[in-house]
Structures are given as C-alpha cells and as structure tokens.
Structure 1
Amino acid sequence: MATLNVRILSHSNVTSLLNAASPMSLLELMARTFHTFSNVPGAAQVPHRMTVKTDAHKVLFMPSSLQDVGTAIKIVSVPTKGQTSGIPATTLVIDEETGEVKAVVNARALTAVRTAAGSALATLHLSSPTSTHLLIFGSGAQSRSHIDLILAIRPTLTHVTIWNRTAGRLDSMVSELRTLHPSVTFRTIVGSGSAYIASAVRQADIICTCTNTSTPLFNGADVKPGAHLNCVGSYTPDMEEVDQVTVGKARMVVVDSVEACKLEAGEFIREVNEGRRTYDDGWIEIGRLVDAEGKIVEGVVRGVRKEDEDVTIFKSVGISVQDCAIATWVLGRAEELSIGNLVEY
C-alpha cells in the first residue's frame, strides 16, 4: 500500500500565505467561486450544514465540492457560553482521486478572509468610487479583514470609524491599523453611544456589519443616499443586524446564495415574510453580477444601482464552496512553497 502523507497547515502557515497574497487575487478567487456557483448547473455541491451541540459550543459541519476546484469539509465551533477567544475552525481537503484527506488546514483566518473578499468584491462594484468614509461594526477577525481588503480596493477612503461593545480588543486593533495606514484617520465608538453611532452612519459611504447581534445596530433613517452596506454577521432567522428601514432602502438585495439566505438571513427573510419584497424579484446572487474574472456583467448591475443616490446592500451568510475554494487555494500555494508539515498517515 502506498504511503499517504497529510499536509498540516497551522494558523501561522495560513496567515503567512494570506499576507503574501494580493488583495485582487483574493477577490478574483471569490469571483470565480461565486460565478461558478450561480451559473454552472451541477458544478457546486453544497449540502446544508449540520450542527452538533456540546457543553460549550455549537459545532457546525459544512461539506462542499466545486467543479475544477476540489472537495472539502469545514468544521467550526461557535462558542455558546460567552467565550471571547475566537471561533475555532478547521478545513479538511479531500484528494479527488483517492478519497483520502490530503490536508488539514487551520481555517480561523480563512473564514474571515473569504467573507471579507466577498464583501470587497461587492464593494468594488457597488460602492461609490469616490467613497471617503468607512464604518465598521465589530472588532473581531471579520472586521479586521474587511478593513484591510476594503482599504486596498478603495484607496479614496480617508476615515474609518469602528464600533464595538467594549474597548479592549478594539483599542489594540486600532493601534495596529494606525501604524499600517498612517494617512487614514481612525475613530472608535464604544458601547451604546447612539448619538455618535447616528453621526457615523450619516457620514458613512460604506458600512460593514460584522457582529453576532440579534437586534439592529443603528437606525436605517440615518443611512445616507448612495451608501453601500455589507451585512455579514447575522446567520439565523432570528438575528437582525440592520433594521427594516435599512433593508427597504435597497432597490435589490445582492446575496451570496439565495437558497442559503432564505434559511439564515434574518432581517431579509422578515422583509419577504411581511410582504415588502419577494425572493424572485428582490434578491440577486453576486455570482450573476460578476464574471469568472471578477468583472461586472454589463447591464445586470443597473437593476441594483440605477442612480448614484441608490443604497446598495450585499448580504452574506457564507457558503461552503467559499471555504473549499480558499482552502484549496492556500493548499496549492503551500505545496508550491513546501510550507507546512507532512505527516505520514
């Protein structure tokens, strides 16, 4: 029997490979993934995730396969007792020929980056090219990845405001960001300072909600004409990061997956259930807006933004083919550079 070697990629391995990647390469990776998912019949297998509950976590199992990419399963443990150490995640990549596991990849950073790359792709095509103010809700890995990628694709941004419930992790992140981006003004809002939040929302050209809240973070009446929103935090029918005023401002909601969002996008499901929008006429997948190279499909985007004053929203609950795509991509780079530990299995 032939010897099987499994490549183990640690968090530091994965982080070094991601840091070496250009932002546009990550956006193009997600564009190919979304385009294939939405346009090539039978190319994606995405069973709905399974959940197992433990004493301290809700463990999610998310298998997927994408044509010409590969097959993988991501395992994520979501804390249920208020832990603040982050969300453990691992992706197993399967050998298409043998059916064996060929890599074990620490996915803690991958999840944040693949989500932010999807938001950045939407932001590139839907936000104003002269945007100057970015507003982020949350201070975790998702928020940091959104800031890094959106600053990279929107160099016109000069002001970034970040809200979080508490100061500790927020202060540390902002200190690092100020060093990395000395030409950008960073401002923080802590807790329930509604007047400060309202002011920041009114100024924001781009808003990203990256929290696990179940109640809206701000008043949609304060969202200014022409703003673009990336909503990535809520992932169950009873979670609502943004209110119904915000949702209703979009001519059409851009989503990562219509079927996934029907099950998990709380505030957007509510709008449909209450009769203010329909799935068929009110939602469109981002994979139908962009081609496999990440370029906008002519004419389609006009249904989303017809006037400069239109508000646009991208809603992402995350689809497992994104995890398959980015894990396979990282594994390919690791194999080329001989990064990681090969373990005889």
Structure 2
Amino acid sequence: MQVITNEQVASLLTVKDAITVMREAFAHYATAGAMQERVRIDSGKTKLSAMGAVIPGLNAAGAKIYSTINGKFTFVIVLFAADDGRLLAVMEGDTMTEFRTAAVTAVAADKLARQDATTLAIFGTGIQARAHVPALLAVRNFSEVLVVGIEGQDAFAQHIATQYGIPARATTAAEAASQADVILTATRSASPLFDGNDIKPGAFVAAIGSSKPDTREVDDTLIRRASKIVVEWKKQAAYEAGDLLLCDKNSFAWDDVLEMTDVVQGAGIRSNESDIILYKAIGVGVEDVALAEFVYRKLAG
C-alpha cells in the first residue's frame, strides 16, 4: 500500500493525461461501472462528505472522502483493486480534484463546443478557474480570454496573458456572456451570474462552480434556451445540481438531459452550429477513482 501526496500527484499528472483518463473513465463506467452518490454529514462547524465508484475495466474501486470547514476542503482518496479488494493506495486528493474537474469540462467542451470557438469567458478567479485555463486550451484554440470576478480579475487576466500568450482582459458579466463562444462559471455564487438572453447562438456554457442544491450560476432563461443539457450522472445531479433544481419546472425535462457517458460514446450531440449547450458539473466518484488509479499505476511504474 502506498501513501501518495499532493506533491507526487502534481509531479505525475499532466493536463493531457487527465483529459485522456476522464474520457476513458466514462467509457469504462458505461460498460460495467457502478457509482455511489455523494453522502454528506454536517455537524455545524465540520462537514464530512464521501463518494465512490467501482470501475472493473480499470481494476479500480475506491472513494473520495473530504472535510469542509469554513469553506476549506481537504480531500483524501482511498483506492482498492476491484478484482481482489487489495488496498492499493491512500492519496491526498486536493491536486487530484483540481485536475479531474477541469479535465472533465475539457472532455465535454471538446465534444460540445463549436470547432471554431475563439473567445473564452471565465467567471471566477479561484483555484478551479485557474485549473480550467490549460484544460480548455488543450481542446480549443482560443484567441481571447475574458475574465469576470469580484476580486483579482485583472491579475488573473494578466496571468493568462503571460503564462499562455493569449490576450486576456477583465470585463463585465454582460460583455463576457454576449461575446464568448465558451463560457466557464467557476464561482460560489448563490444566484445567476448573467442574463441568459445575453448568450449568443452556438455558445457552450460549463457551469461547474457548485454541487449544492440551493445555489446556482445560470438562470432559467439560459436553461430554456439550451438545446441540450448535459450532466455527469443524472442520479446525483437530480438532488445536487442547484442550477437545474432551482429553475422553473417547465424550463427543461429531466428525460431529455444527457450524461457524460452519452457524450464520450456518442456523436452529433450538437445538431447545428446555433445550438446553445449547457454542461452542469457537480463532480462524481468515477472521476476521482479513475484518476487515482492512473496516478497509482504511473507511480508504480
């Protein structure tokens, strides 16, 4: 059994690897996998959450367990062999979570965003907003990045321009929403960040900031305008995806919502170039277990 640190994870993982693993993870899950939806315990000050998956195709089973105190998360992943139940590793999961969330968004964007997308808008300036930049740049050649935030937006835009050599600037929510071909919302907002009427035809919107049923980043208008809505796993989204749970019940039909397994296995989800497509992420166990298995295998040589 190995104990694997965040530093080791960072040294072993690349954005390209993470995207490939997430694409393969949902394909394996579609054929024979099983997931445990997130379970939360709340004592008032300290929250404890857990979710897991079994992926026979990767010979992996495991769970991510994490605490939340004053908005700070601490993640641990426990990994077992699926065939004989051996404990393979216990690994810190903070770095892993950054990689996997952004990588799944990139898999969705690669399938669902227009091929000619040139402008990326990012709402948020935190860890996940920053992690998503290289992941999204791995699947589309953006020529401009627009940043919207409460604080640090100018510094974040300067970081993008310096680190990735792409023009980036801070702007308003209305301008970002109306100009972008791909929109990422990575905030802790409890209410919609922009008017869904501002979204232009053909846009792909990835709302990844919250996994709570009482918060949302996008409004009813965007949900009604979306030709397709994609979630990672409907069973978990049905009680955690606040963007969908808080909207008017007539805005969409759950029977029409697609899952990431549909995305990685299917083709032609975007029926025409004017389709607006919404991807709502909450994080599911198959992502953590698959990426943990990859890191364990790479470290083992």
Matched, 1:209 2:185: yes
By how many angstroms is 1:275 displaced?
A: 2.3
Q: Tell me the residue number matched to 1:3.
A: none
Cα contact 2:220–2:251 (8 A) shared by 1: no
Q: Which amino acid aligns with 2:52?
A: P
Matching residue within 129, 132, 143 for 1:146: 132
**Cα distance in structure 2, aligned partners of 1:126 and 1:73:** 29
Larger radius of gyration: 1
Structure 2 SS opposite 1:198: helix
**Cα distance in structure 2, aligned partners of 1:178 and 1:143:** 15
Structure 2's unaligned 5+ residue stretches are: none
1:149-188 C-alpha deviation (Å, 9 max, x unpaired):
1112112x11112222222xx5554444333212x01212
By how many angstroms is 1:232 displaced?
A: 1.1
* Cα distance change on mapping 1:121 and 1:275 into 2, 3 Å: same
Cα contact 1:232–1:315 (8 A) shared by 2: yes
Cα contact 2:204–2:278 (8 A) shared by 1: yes
Identity of aligned residues (%): 28
Cα contact 1:202–1:223 (8 A) shared by 2: yes
Q: Which amino acid aligns with 1:197?
A: A
Q: Which amino acid aligns with 1:318?
A: G
Q: Tell me the residue number matched to 1:114.
A: 100
Q: Tell me the residue number matched to 2:144.
A: 159
Q: Tell me the residue number matched to 1:74.
A: 64
By how many angstroms is 1:270 displaced?
A: 3.6
Q: Tell me the residue number matched to 1:65.
A: 54
Cα contact 1:109–1:141 (8 A) shared by 2: no
**Cα distance in structure 1, aligned partners of 2:28 and 2:57:** 10
Q: Tell me the residue number matched to 1:13.
A: 8
Q: Tell me the residue number matched to 2:118.
A: 132
Q: Tell me the residue number matched to 2:250.
A: 275
Structure 1's unaligned 5+ residue stretches are: 1-5, 190-195, 292-296, 337-345
Q: Tell me the residue number matched to 1:179.
A: 162
Aligned residue runs from structure 1 range 182-201, under 5 A: 182=165, 184-189=166-171, 196-201=172-177
TM-score by length of 2: 0.92
**Cα distance in structure 1, aligned partners of 2:272 and 2:44:** 51
Matched, 1:29 2:21: yes
**Cα distance in structure 1, aligned partners of 2:48 and 2:274:** 42
Cα contact 1:243–1:267 (8 A) shared by 2: yes
Q: Which amino acid aligns with 1:264?
A: E
1:228-268 C-alpha deviation (Å, 9 max, x unpaired):
01111121221111111111111121111111111111121
By how many angstroms is 1:97 displaced?
A: 5.6
Q: Which amino acid aligns with 1:241?
A: E
1:55-89 C-alpha deviation (Å, 9 max, x unpaired):
5432211122112220111112233x3x5xx5211
Matched, 1:87 2:73: yes
Matched, 1:53 2:42: yes
Q: Tell me the residue number matched to 1:323.
A: 288
By how many angstroms is 1:116 displaced?
A: 1.1
Cα contact 2:122–2:184 (8 A) shared by 1: yes
Structure 1 SS opposite 2:277: strand
By how many angstroms is 1:321 displaced?
A: 0.9
Cα contact 2:35–2:285 (8 A) shared by 1: yes
1:32-60 C-alpha deviation (Å, 9 max, x unpaired):
222233x32xx222222222234543221
By how many angstroms is 1:140 displaced?
A: 2.0
Structure 2 SS opposite 1:321: helix
* Cα distance change on mapping 1:171 and 1:104 into 2, 3 Å: farther
**Cα distance in structure 2, aligned partners of 1:111 and 1:266:** 20
* Cα distance change on mapping 1:222 and 1:147 into 2, 3 Å: same
By how many angstroms is 1:286 displaced?
A: 2.1
More displaced 10-residue stretch of structure 1: 43-52 or 145-154: 43-52
